[in-house]
Structure 1
Amino acid sequence: MVDDTSAASASPRSTEQVPATMQAVVCHGPEDYRLEEVPVPTRGAGQVLLAVEAVGICASDLKCYHGAAKFWGDENRPAWAETEVIPGHEFVGRVVELDDEAAAHWGIAVGDRVVAEQIVPDWTCRYCLLGAYHMCARHDMYGFKRATPGAMASYMVLTTDSLVHKVDADLPPAHAAFAEPLSCALHGVERAELTFDDVVVVAGCGPIGLGMIAGSRAKNPRLVVALDMDDAKLDIARRTGADVTINIAREDAVARVKELTDGWGADVYIESAGHPSAVGQGLNLLRKLGRYVEYSVFGSDVTVDWSIISDDKELDVRGAHLGPHCWPAAIRMIESGALPMDDICTHQLPLADFQKGLDLVASGKESIKVSLIP
């Protein structure tokens, strides 16, 4: 009897000779990432081999680099990423090899440019069965687990449970890779359940915050307000859809928002700055019965007066994680040219300069979105 799966894997669709080895960034522990020559990964049945074109560096990559213990305050906990893993989860690549099973599963072919969601669900747990695959209890994650090496490399493999989306081949690679953070931003906006009469405040004008501003504007609320301490980022925020910008280094954001709303406060506050002070700021500038959405990756614990949430204002506080069901919308938004992508994607570096890229993200003063180009 013929094993059709094995036959498909043994006779892949491919148009180029794939080398035996490649350059990749490899995690050996906290603050110990190394550029190494490693074997090109082998594609299994139903899987896809990608030639990576770009991979973004985000705050979670930086947290992973420093090691979770530094942030969680528990030296007995392991680093957030497993050692010997290749990091990188914001990526775009070109399909160089796949079999009939993979082609039929995703509707893709050799030569197509694709992106994939960072989470690889098991599709069988309680959350997956409810449609909340982004909360899968037994998931893998590109760039964090050995089972799913990431994209800081010349090649990577997409496993059979991945969520894969085609993207325009004419987009600059760094722009196409921005689909991951933009989908996360749009999910945060969806969690806010905006209405036409809402005054929405977005804290932080980094990659996620700018995406949230664009997503909020697309929902057409009454007013979109952007907060940051950097005038250059606030300028981009205006071109991304903000009606009002507030430099919190010079102005009292709470007082200004109260002024804009006849003293009531904002209807919605979406936090993407990642600084503890932004949490209290949001609680104070919201009106009673307002909605608070938290998306940030924090580097330390945050303490607030919870009585504001309950006794004072009865706020609706919501978390947001990843970008479930938002990838098609994010890709359409990038492809439409609606966003000032050249201003958002500020730095594209060769893979060998990964340390410079991490340092740029850590600084936050010279860059918005930093990408590596293998």
Structure 2
Amino acid sequence: MIIEKPNLDDSKHIKSTMDAAVLTEVKNIEIQKREIPTPEADEVLIRIKTVGLCGSDVHYYEHGKIGDFIVEKPIILGHEASGEIVKVGEKVTELQVGQRVSIEPGATCGKCDHCKEGRYNLCPHVEFLATPPYDGAFCEYIAMRADLVFPIPDSMSFETAALIEPFSVGIHAISRGKLQSGETVVIMGMGPIGLVTAAAAKMAGAKTIIGVDLEQSRLEVAKEMGATHTINLREDNLDDKVMKYTNGVGVDLAIETAGNPKAVQGTISSVRRGGRVVIVGMSPQDEVPVSISKIIDKEIDLMGVFRYHHTYPKAIEMLASKEVDIEKMITNQYQLTDVKEAFEKAIHDKTNTLKIMINP
């Protein structure tokens, strides 16, 4: 892939307005003119190059809410973003115009107990791109706090840089699950988050990585991402196959990324006695039935995952190594003017779509 080189004179030619894809109501997106933001003293202005379409974006587009987060006014979606710095605030010293960057989308307060103990992903005051009421990155420019902007190497594409955000979820999932080199892991759901989790597990040294899904096309991509075995639930029995691939023991770590109640139950049955289960996917149901007796009998460690923290430098280093070509999960690319079409594609053609990228 040809890497686009920055134009260091771009900051002199910034317009006053930009195009933005705005969700005005459920299933309706309009391209509107918005003022280009002026960066504060501790911010940089970034020309957006690539943004990944996330499942959360689709939920807001299709339903207007996710749990307690409700779209109450027009909003710009998109939070998996990369771009190029075109202006820097007067107090910014470590970044400069022309740098190619990946963007961490959550601005936390830095003052609450969660932030102070290092788990800033739990900050109750976070301002997260494309989470109501905060606008996201399906637009030409955004201003971001400088500490949330991470330079990428020249060898890294803007597409890979945008995928650092979902890849961070995978890194955090295996970290929460305490995955050790040589261990076995099953990942329920080979959507984008499941795929990046498989890639993270491979780079962490997992010996056996079992990818599970209903779609064979996704399982084929899973093999490219690091899965050593796959299970197609349309054809195979989950428990039988897991036992076959783990010599009758079960996996050390089971990770659920599908947001499906049956997948949650599958993690409990797949994991070995004394193993760990990590729940990443957000189920549409608040309450999911699980076997408490199995959790107790196996003495399972059960953990939840909410976003990530302190992952971006590590993620950039891991993906720069090219041990896994994470771009193999990209199935479609659209221009900003075609964002509505991209959403409809994601909703109605799940068999042939994995990660859709928007290129402002």
TM-score exceeds 0.5: yes
Partner of 1:5: none
My pick for the range that moved more, 176-185 or 194-203, is 194-203
| SS of residue paired to 1:238 | helix
1:175-220 residue CA offsets vs partner (Å, 9 max, x unmatched): 2211111111111111110123422101122221111111111222
1:65-117 residue CA offsets vs partner (Å, 9 max, x unmatched): 23355x64xxxx6x534523321110001101113412x1xx11000011221
2:45 aligned residue (27, 43, 49): 49
Aligned partners of 2:267, 2:172: CA distance in 1, in Å?
19
Partner of 1:330: 315
Query: Structure 1 counterpart of 2:240, which letter?
Result: A
1:115 corresponds to 2:115: no
Aligned partners of 2:212, 2:110: CA distance in 1, in Å?
38
| SS of residue paired to 1:15 | helix
Query: Structure 1 counterpart of 2:63, which letter?
Result: G
Partner of 1:65: 61
- Return structure 1 stretches of 4+ with deviation > 4 angstroms: none
CA RMSD between the two structures: 2.1
Partner of 1:209: 194
Aligned partners of 1:241, 1:275: CA distance in 2, in Å?
22
My pick for the range that moved more, 325-334 or 249-258, is 325-334
Map of 1:89-108 to 2, 5 A cutoff?
89-102=79-92, 104=93, 107-108=94-95
1:292 corresponds to 2:282: no
TM-score normalised by structure 1 residue count:
0.87
Partner of 2:138: 152
The CA deviation at 1:368 is: 1.3
The CA deviation at 1:49 is: 0.8
1:269 corresponds to 2:254: yes
1:373 corresponds to 2:359: yes
Map of 1:1-374 to 2, 5 A cutoff?
15-67=11-63, 72=67, 80-102=70-92, 104=93, 107-146=94-133, 148-159=134-145, 162-362=147-347, 363-374=349-360
Query: Structure 2 counterpart of 1:28, which letter?
Result: T
Contact 1:346 1:367 in 2 (8 A): yes
Q: 1:236 to 1:338 in 2, by over 3 A?
A: same
Query: Structure 1 counterpart of 2:190, which letter?
Result: C
The CA deviation at 1:255 is: 0.9
| SS of residue paired to 2:143 | strand
1:33-87 residue CA offsets vs partner (Å, 9 max, x unmatched): 3221222122222211111001111111112223355x64xxxx6x534523321
Q: Percent identity?
A: 27
Q: 1:198 to 1:305 in 2, by over 3 A?
A: same
Q: 1:219 to 1:170 in 2, by over 3 A?
A: closer
My pick for the range that moved more, 356-365 or 279-288, is 356-365
Aligned partners of 1:21, 1:317: CA distance in 2, in Å?
48
Aligned partners of 1:175, 1:18: CA distance in 2, in Å?
25
Contact 2:58 2:346 in 1 (8 A): yes
Q: 1:142 to 1:265 in 2, by over 3 A?
A: same
| SS of residue paired to 2:210 | strand
Query: Structure 1 counterpart of 2:99, which letter?
Result: D
The CA deviation at 1:17 is: 1.6
Partner of 1:8: none
Partner of 1:3: none
My pick for the range that moved more, 113-122 or 168-177, is 168-177
